[in-house]
Amino acid sequence: MPQKTQSLMPQDSLLITSAADSVRLQDSLNQLQAASIAHTTKTRDGSGFFILLFIGIASLIIYKVWKKYQRRQAFETNLSHFSEYDASLATYNEYYKSLPPDKRLRFMERVSWFIATKTFECTDLPQESIMPLLISAASVQITFGLDKYLLDFFDTIYIMRHNYQFGLYPVAFEGHVNSNGIYLSWDNFLRGYENYNDADNVGIHEMAHALAYVNFMAGANDGKDEEFIKRFYNFSTVARPIFNEMQNGKTNLLNQYAATNYNEFWAVAVENFFEKSLPMKVEMPELYSALCSLLNQDPLLPGKIITIV
């Protein structure tokens, strides 16, 4: 997300592409592929290829089992800090603070899993233990009513100190999403939670982009949610006409930045859904209801979730 105050804006962060944006096979698979190609040029009966393929598949299975074990251990370690995390989230995150005890436990379990599946890399600032917690909570907040919530396509979340330059774009970014990861500026992230009523929250905004990226732009991946995709088209029957009106100059509750393109409309709508829930329900009831159905939650309900999944 570029700074909203800039008049010159690049295309939506979901659409950023570069030579480095191509999705790569895991190193082990790359090596296996290269080795198998080289070997087939030297053998006639193909037996060596199948042996190599078997070894590669076995290695991949062992790797996945080990990775699953590591994630389970990380999850249990994270969850063991429940009291500490609970206090921090209750201080910073109004959404979490409003949850009843049973939903706080569900939220914390999801946060613990999310942290366990991601690498958090800081640029130009030291990493603090609260960073993975708060950033993961922003994602879990949006996906709290969904079955798939880990954004499995993404392995790495990059944290910058301030606004930053990306590629050749002439404006500074507060955050963006591409195939390499999720990028956030830490000072802007914190500012988003200082005022929970202004619908200006870079954490929620970029995680909304990440959720859309996983489901519509990343191709086949473990995070893809077919039910979410089906409901998104229903959401668009309500949202798209509103977006079209905004592009023609009509104003409403949403920040005019939402008229930049439909991807930004989506992210801004989600920001308003959580931070201006009541005004949105009153002024834009159809859009609010469509978001409730899409995300399977209503921020105005004590327990948030509409149907337990």
> Which pLDDT value is given to residue 47?
73
Position 277 in a domain: yes
**Helices vs. strands in the chain: H and E counts, helices first:** 12, 4
Domain range for 214: 67-295
Cβ atoms within 10 Å, residue 252: 15
Its sign, for the CA torsion 173, 174, 177, 183, is positive
301: in domain: no
Please report whether residue 256 resides in a domain: yes
Q: What is the pLDDT of residue 70?
A: 62
Q: Is residue 14 part of a domain?
A: no
DSSP letter, residue 256: G
Longest dimension (CA), the chain: 73
- What pLDDT score does 25 carry? 31
Q: Could you give the 3-state DSSP secondary structure of residue 281?
A: helix
212 close to 153: Cβ distance less than 8 angstroms: no
* Cα–Cα distance for residue pair 215/264, rounded to 1 Å: 16
Q: Which residues contact 93 (CB under 8 A, 6 or more apart)?
A: 134, 137, 141, 193
Per-residue confidence (pLDDT) for residue 48, from 0 to 100? 79
In-domain check, residue 178? yes
3-state secondary structure of 50: helix
Grouped pLDDT means (10 residues each) for the chain, 309 residues: 44 36 34 40 61 78 63 78 93 97 96 96 95 98 97 97 92 96 98 94 98 97 96 98 97 96 98 98 98 98 94
CATH assignment of the domain containing 222 = 3.40.390
Report yes or no on 185 lying in a domain. yes
Residue 60 is assigned to a structural domain of this protein: no
Q: Residue 64's pLDDT is what?
A: 58
For residues 156 and 112, give the distance between their C-alpha atoms in angstroms, rounded to a whole number. 16
Number of domains present in the structure of the chain: 1
**Which pLDDT belongs to residue 4?**
54
Task: Classify residue 26: in a domain, yes or no.
Answer: no
The values of phi and psi at residue 32, to 5°, are -65, -45
